Amino acid sequence: MEQWEADDARRRHMARFGRRDTAPELALRRELHRRGRRFFVDRQVSRRCRVRPDLVFPRARIAVFVDGCFWHHCEEHTHLPKANAELWRRKLLANRQRDARN
C-alpha cells in the first residue's frame, strides 16, 4: 500500500475525528442498551489481529462492526472525491480488501 503524506493543516483536521462514538454507533448502542443488551465497546478480541470491533458480546462470541459508507466504499452510497480521484479509489478499495480479510 502506498504511503500517504499530509500537510500539517490536513493532519490537524483529520485528528479531530475520532475512531469511535460516531452517530450510527451511538444510536445502535442506545437501542441495544434500551433493550437490555450489555456489551463492550471498542474492545480487542484477538492478539493475532489488530482490528477492534465497535461492539463485542463476549459470551455470545459476537463482534459487531458499524462501517461508514465512505471509508468502507459502500457501492450504494459512496462517492469518490473529485480531487485526487484515482488515489482515493485505490485507498478505498484497499479498505474493502482489508475489511474482507478481517
> In the β-sheet with 55-57, what is the strand arrangement from edge to edge?
40-41, 55-57, 62-64
Give the C-alpha separation, 65 to 70, whole Å: 15
Band of residue 33 on the pLDDT scale cut at 50, 70, 90: very high
Report pLDDT for 69: 82
Give the C-alpha separation, 59 to 65, whole Å: 17
Instruction: Note whether 79 and 68 are within 8 A (CB).
Output: no
pLDDT tens-digit map of 57-83: 999 999 999 988 888 888 888 788 888
Report pLDDT for 5: 64
pTM: 0.71
